[in-house]
Structure 1
Amino acid sequence: MSLVERQDMMNEDSVVWTGGMGTASDYLALLKPRVMSLVIFTAFVGLMLAPGTLHPVLAGVAILCIAVGAGASGALNMWYDADIDEVMSRTKKRPIPAGKVTREEAFTFGMTLSIGSVLLLGLMVNWFAGAFLAFTIFFYVVIYTMWLKRSTPQNIVIGGAAGAFPPMVGWASVTGSVSLESFILFLIIFMWTPPHFWALALFKSSDYRAAGVPMLPVVAGETNTRHQILLYSVFLAPIGVAPYFLGFASPVYGVASALLGLAFVALAVDVWRKREGDVARTATVRLFKFSIFYLFMLFALLLGESLVAGVLA
């Protein structure tokens, strides 16, 4: 065997063995912990607002299963999107493109957690909630990741439903059903998702273009994206106040959510007006950061009122 052939075999071996040395932190990164934290929080709010009671141990099991299911979705998303993640600056340090975990390991990890979380939620809490969690995982991995993300600029609009389901799953864990109130919680997140992610896409459009992902700024241009951000923000503001109008939030929530909605719209108007240079980037980043604060505050206010009501009951 020649030296060249030996070198070729060594190169092949190095490709075969790329990854497979992932640490606990690498597998944790596969779960998308920042996204998981939002899922846990909104699911917990849904669980706490739901009428009826659930034993604290079972409530903990429900939140754990929802969290693990969300993490499993993240791992399967990274498994399928490894080619995209390798191109984008925002994602190229993730465990698979960084060579710390193989795609096969991520797939096995994600599927194991998916099946385990669904079965445990169904067996320990109720099967309606378990089935809803299974549908949520399926929607995110198959409908959004495998289909919408690479095929339409409306990917984040339709696919955003996956991120909006957790409060409904939390609600279903208590009641074994869904209701108008839980749908409103879903609708708040659903309408919040497009302006939040399109703001990110505006200053990361070169990444999405390089990866071939048809995000709205890439396909329709930045001007159209700014129009859409403003439109969705205008629709979001009254939906954010809906819990008060429907009677499951107090006037304090009503006033606070209205003010937060007005601030959201004002920042969206700023993004719409400022379209070039550093001022445009600053306006977009400001909206993106405020959008996170906005969603957190709405759900934190609802949670706080629920906890106060529980103490006074």
Structure 2
Amino acid sequence: MTDFSTDFSLQHAAAGSSARDFIELLKPRVMSLVVFTGFAGLVAAPGHIHPVLAAVAVLCIAVGAGASAAINMWYDRDIDAVMTRTARRPIPSGRVDPAEALAFGVVLAVVSVVVMGLAVNWTAAALLALATLFYVFVYTIWLKRRTPQNIVIGGAAGAFPPMIGWAAVTGGVDLGSVVLFTLIFLWTPPHFWALALFRNADYTRAGVPMMPVVAGPDSTRRQMLAYTLILLPAGAAPYAVGIAGPAYLAGALVMGGLFVLCALNVLWATDDRPAKRMFGFSILHLFTLFALLVGEHLTGGVPS
């Protein structure tokens, strides 16, 4: 239940809102990885796109991702207020009015899709719209507060960017973009469950049915290991379908193996430190794979 002081601060947030507060609504740290994977999909796609249009496509992916984050913060403002990790976000801390945050997110979402369609192509725009709608309605509104499978299903929203980047070049959806989508889709559960393990008290207090809250830490650890084992061949799949070269394959196998070791350490852990390390490593893991993919394509290291 929200107290009077919180209501008062939210009602008067707009007067004290700054540009920095609105930028924070976009979750820029999360956005950076999303944008990079979208850029990687664009670079890895067969064909050519004018550099200006490529920049527009990447910008639209960034704006669309930020719009989704802003709408997510608007909807989750009640649970954000009771979680230590999120209590100082712009809305629960009273720095941005909820209605303004919602309007900000909706306007950015619409603009990103329209500009993508008009400047690049409507396939990429449709995928960008689908990613935004999926994140807002399927993950945030429908799944997040109802099922421990929220991340498993809802994680698809974060897997769309390389597919969007790919479509910006090709105008379609091909096997290569589906492989990149699948890679992120399988990476998402162990990544977020590692966070949920060491933030279990937060999610419990907020009533969010993350896997550790519902199934318990032991079951979550076993599922994390299962996903990292499945992710190992999935990480090699870009090489198998011909969109990555040997340097990528070597890096994917090494990073995938280390991710499995992280999951084993979490499985055997008696405290939260291995989960924190796995969460941090998971970001490095995904970034490294897509950086190798980009590097090979930019240097001509992918066999034709």
Q: CA RMSD in A?
A: 1.9
The letter for the 2-side match of 1:169 is I
Counterpart selection for 1:19 from 9, 13, 17 = 13
Listed as ranges, the matches of 1:36-115 within 5 Å are 36-115=31-110
Q: Deviations over 1:124-164 (max 9, x none)?
A: 11111111111110000000000100000000000000000
Equivalents in 2 of 1:33, 1:13: separation in Å? 27
* C-alpha distance in structure 2 between counterparts of 1:265 and 1:19, whole Å: 45
Amino acid at match of 1:155: N
- Count how many residue pairs are aligned between Structure 1 and Structure 2: 300
Q: CA deviation at 1:311?
A: 11
Residue number in structure 1 paired with 2:221:
226
Q: 1:11 to 1:183 in 2, by over 3 A?
A: closer
- Following the alignment from structure 1 to structure 2, what is the Cα–Cα distance between the partners of residues 102 and 118? 25
Measured at CA, do residues 206 and 65 of structure 1 come closer, stay the same or move farther in structure 2, by a change above 3 Å? same
Aligned to 1:7: none
Asked if 1:292 is matched to 2:287, the reply is no
Q: In the aligned structure 1, how far is the partner of 2:20 from the partner of 2:274? A: 34
Amino acid in structure 2 at the alignment position of 1:187: T
- TM-score, normalised on structure 1? 0.92
Task: Please tell me the residue identity of whatever aligns with 2:100.
Answer: E
The Cα of 1:14 is off from its aligned counterpart by: 4.0
Per the alignment, residue 301 of structure 1 pairs with 292
Q: Alpha-carbon deviation of 1:184? A: 0.8
Mapped partners of 2:112, 2:301: distance in 1: 29
Q: Deviations over 1:66-88 (max 9, x none)?
A: 10000000000000000010010
Cα–Cα, structure 1 residues 98 and 11, in superposed 2: closer, same or farther, change >3 Å? closer
Matches of residues 129-148 of structure 1 in structure 2 within 5 Å? 129-148=124-143
Are 2:204 and 1:213 aligned?
no
Q: Distance in 2 between matches of 1:65 and 1:17?
A: 31
Structure 2 counterparts to residues 129-278 of structure 1, below 5 A: 129-274=124-269, 276=270
Q: 1:241 to 1:107 in 2, by over 3 A?
A: same
Q: State the partner residue of 1:5.
A: none
Unpaired runs of 5+ residues, structure 1, are: 1-9
- Mapped to 1, the partners of 2:5 and 2:258 lie a distance apart of 56
Letter in 2 for 1:101: V
Paired letter, 1:293: L
Q: What is the identity, as a one-letter code, of the residue corresponding to 1:22?
A: S
Aligned AA for 2:128? L
Structure-2 change in CA distance of 1:312 and 1:138 (3 Å): closer
Question: Which runs of 5 or more residues in structure 2 are unaligned?
Answer: none
CA–CA distance in structure 2, aligned partners of residues 16 and 247 of structure 1: 52
Structure-2 separation of matches of 1:237 and 1:116: 37
Instruction: Tell me the distance in 1 between the aligned counterparts of 2:97 and 2:107.
Output: 15
Shift of 1:252: 1.9
User: Cα 1:246–1:311, aligned 2, differ >3 Å: closer, same or farther?
Assistant: closer
Identity, % of aligned positions: 58
User: Which shows bigger deviation, 25-34 or 241-250?
Assistant: 241-250
Q: Secondary structure at the match of 1:48?
A: helix
The residue type paired with residue 79 of structure 1 is W
What's the offset of the Cα at 1:15? 5.5
* Among candidates 274, 279, 299, match of residue 283 of structure 1: 274
Cα separation, partners in 2 of 1:219 and 1:282, compared to 1, 3 Å: same
Q: Would you say the 8 A contact 2:10–2:91 is kept in 1?
A: no
Distance 2:302 2:266 in 1: 42
Counterpart residue identity of residue 241, structure 1:
A
Distance (Å, rounded) in 2 between the aligned partners of 1:210 and 1:27: 27
Q: Tell me the TM-score normalised to structure 2 length.
A: 0.95
CA contact (8 A) 2:6 2:94 kept: no
Q: Secondary structure at the match of 1:170?
A: helix
Return the letter of the residue paired with 1:306: H
Q: CA deviation at 1:267?
A: 1.2
CA distance in 2, matches of 1:159, 1:51: 29
Kept in 1, the 8 Å contact 2:245–2:302? The answer is no
Q: Which structure would you say has the larger Rg?
A: 1
